[in-house]
Amino acid sequence: MPNSKTTTCQINATRLYSSLETLGQIGRYTDAETGLQGVCRLALSAEDGEGRRLVLSWMRELGLEVTVDRIGNVYARRSGLRPDLAPVMVGSHIDSVPTAGRFDGCLGVLGGLEIVRTLNERGTETQRPVVVAFFTDEEGCRFGTDMLGSAVATGRLALEQAYDLRDREGLRLGDELEKIGFLGQADEKVAAPYAYLECHVEQGPILGAKRVDIGVVTGVQAISWQALTILGKSAHAGATPMNLRADAGLAASRINVQLRAMIASGEYGEMRATMGCIAPQPGLVNIVPGRVEATVDLRNPSDLHMRKSEQDLLAFYEQVQSEEKVEIRWRQTARTEAVAFSPSLQQRIAEAAQGAGLSHQPIIAGAGHDAQEFARICPSAMVFVPGEYDGISHNPREFSTQQQCANGIHVMFEVLLQLANEIAF
Ligand SMILES: [Zn+2]
């Protein structure tokens, strides 16, 4: 059915969608449970190599000048009338989690190429160069560090440190990069772009539930991960009196319930907390667990609230240790500060959406994205598009419609065109 919103759309929605489908064929598998087609293109796997080569071929077809840097990030440049000016960069990633759909990351990259295709077709020249980029191992599933390529490019992570990361099989990242043919020559430190833009699927239910077309991303939440080992004493479930137990399982449960109570208290702002792994040992019906391995995932848009929640949680560990006669060992496995995106770019995104008759609202990013790395070196912003099925992502059911994808890239196109034609921000 024709949608009045499409009349102002600057980009070719069908062509964009079909490029997403074509890339989604690489690393495809059939999900045994649902029969749906999923995508598995783990970073630096053979499938990632194949996906990369396909996208590179499209970049070259568009006449872009392609550069591969020493961490395997790929930059495709369309020259400007003033090639001396810093480029406007559009980017994201094409690696995936093991059970992915075809939109996460790919929309941002292939959307960038669709923008270039549109500029080429119309013979539109811009003052500034336009660069479409994809970054190595955004997902972090294989080597344990997410936003790896963009973190190296923007100086948060040292190149040698990144090369020496190993996957579960002990394979070294630097070697794997070479194996798929993407150990490039270019300096891994990227020169600061004029601005960085990224379009991404929301990966959450908010926009879809409200039928909002465009999420204007305000920033990325602070993330804090802990790995816990709780040591108690294994004991017979029938023979050991309750007052003589050191139940590691109970201690883990108390921490989980405490997290929920902290959220309910309202003292920690927009805190989110998850214990995604709670593994009691020996894990048998009639044995008090003597040991639990567990994880804690904390998210918060405010660094202040995040720090308070971390401090109070550690104090609670002390309390549980003494009350339950257990030992709680913890280590930080990930920690990133909250990132605020450029207010000026957010405003432009909202205006571009408005101009196209698209509904929009501010939204915080729940997951990590390459844009947060670029926010350290240049004005950066993100556009979210809604996903169907409650915005499920990292799952074969991940799905955004052709219209939803096109809406997001249209907004990017409008903002990019403004930025690429101005001399000063
Ligand atoms: Zn992503």
pLDDT digits (tens, 9 = 90+) for 91-110: 999 999 999 999 999 999 99
Q: How far is the CA of 38 from the centre of ligand 1 (A)?
A: 15
Domain that holds residue 98: 4-221+339-420
pLDDT digits (tens, 9 = 90+) for 337-369: 999 999 999 999 999 999 999 999 999 998 899
* Tokens 């991303």 sit on residue: 217
Mean per-residue pLDDT of the chain: 95
| Residues 348, 332 share a domain | no
Q: What percent of the chain has pLDDT over 70?
A: 98
Q: What percent of the chain has pLDDT over 90?
A: 93
pLDDT digits (tens, 9 = 90+) for 49-74: 999 999 999 999 999 999 999 999 99
Q: How far is the CA of 104 from the centre of ligand 1 (A)?
A: 5
Gap between the Cα atoms of 315 and 309, Å rounded: 10
Q: How far is the CA of 378 from the centre of ligand 1 (A)?
A: 20
Residue 425, in any domain of the structure: no
Q: How far is the CA of 263 from the centre of ligand 1 (A)?
A: 27
pLDDT digits (tens, 9 = 90+) for 284-328: 999 999 999 999 999 999 999 999 999 999 999 999 999 999 999
Within 13 Å of residue 416, how many CA atoms lie on the same side as its CB? 37
Gap between the terminal Cα atoms of the chain: 40
| Residues 238, 175 share a domain | no
| Residues 217, 134 share a domain | yes
pLDDT digits (tens, 9 = 90+) for 155-213: 999 999 999 999 999 999 999 999 999 999 999 999 999 999 999 999 999 999 999 99
Q: How far is the CA of 210 from the centre of ligand 1 (A)?
A: 22
Tally of structural domains, the chain? 2
Residues within 5 A (CB) of ion ligand 1: 104-105
Q: How far is the CA of 200 from the centre of ligand 1 (A)?
A: 7
Q: Show which of 298, 319, 336 is a domain's final residue.
A: 336
| Residues 287, 260 share a domain | yes
Q: How far is the CA of 7 from the centre of ligand 1 (A)?
A: 29
| Residues 210, 94 share a domain | yes
Q: What is the pLDDT confidence band of residue 8, given thresholds at 50, 70 and 90?
A: low
pLDDT at position 51 is 98
Q: What is the mean pLDDT of residues 68-82?
A: 98
Q: What is the CATH number of the domain that holds 245?
A: 3.30.70.360
Q: What is the CATH number of the domain that holds 28?
A: 3.40.630.10
Residue 5 reports pLDDT greater than 70? no
pLDDT at position 9 is 75
| Residues 412, 331 share a domain | no
Residue 398 reports pLDDT greater than 80? yes
Residue 3 reports pLDDT greater than 80? no
Q: What is the mean pLDDT of residues 371-384?
A: 97
Q: How far is the CA of 139 from the centre of ligand 1 (A)?
A: 7
Gap between the Cα atoms of 414 and 421, Å rounded: 11
pLDDT at position 333 is 87
Q: Show which of 319, 336, 353 is a domain's final residue.
A: 336
Q: How far is the CA of 425 from the centre of ligand 1 (A)?
A: 27
Q: How far is the CA of 413 from the centre of ligand 1 (A)?
A: 20
Give the residue from 302, 300, 382, 304 showing the smallest Cα distance to 342: 382
The three-state DSSP-derived secondary structure of the chain is CCCHHHHHCCCCHHHHHHHHHHHHCCCEEECCCCCCEEECCCCCCHHHHHHHHHHHHHHHHCCCEEEEECCCCEEEEECCCCCCCCCEEEEECCCCCCCECCCCCHHHHHHHHHHHHHHHHHCCCCCCCEEEEECCCCCCCCCCCCCHHHHHHCCCCCHHHHHCCECCCCCEHHHHHHHCCCCCCECCCCCCCCEEEEEEECCCCHHHHHCCCEEEEEEECEEEEEEEEEECECEECCCCCHHHCECHHHHHHHHHHHHHHHHHHCCCCCCEEECCCEEEECCCCCEECCEEEEEEEEEECCHHHHHHHHHHHHHHHHHHHHHHCCEEEEEEEEEECCEECCHHHHHHHHHHHHHCCCCEEEEEECCCCHHHHHCCCCCEEEEEECCHHHHCCCCCCCCCCHHHHHHHHHHHHHHHHHHHCCCCC
Write the CA distances from 64 to 10, 59, 120, 124, integer angstroms. 21, 6, 10, 15
Q: How far is the CA of 138 from the centre of ligand 1 (A)?
A: 7
Gap between the Cα atoms of 124 and 129, Å rounded: 12
Q: How far is the CA of 145 from the centre of ligand 1 (A)?
A: 14
Gap between the Cα atoms of 152 and 70, Å rounded: 10
Residue 149 reports pLDDT greater than 50? yes
| Residues 131, 68 share a domain | yes
Q: How far is the CA of 106 from the centre of ligand 1 (A)?
A: 8
Give the residue from 132, 42, 47 showing the smallest Cα distance to 89: 132
Q: At what angle do helices 402-420 and 106-122 cross, to 10 degrees?
A: 60
| Residues 400, 352 share a domain | yes
Q: How far is the CA of 394 from the centre of ligand 1 (A)?
A: 9
| Residues 197, 60 share a domain | yes
Q: Report the predicted TM-score, pTM, of the whole model to 2 decimal places.
A: 0.87
Q: How far is the CA of 300 from the centre of ligand 1 (A)?
A: 19
| Residues 355, 323 share a domain | no
pLDDT digits (tens, 9 = 90+) for 177-190: 999 999 999 999 99
pLDDT at position 424 is 78
Q: How far is the CA of 369 from the centre of ligand 1 (A)?
A: 6
Q: Show which of 336, 365, 387 is a domain's final residue.
A: 336
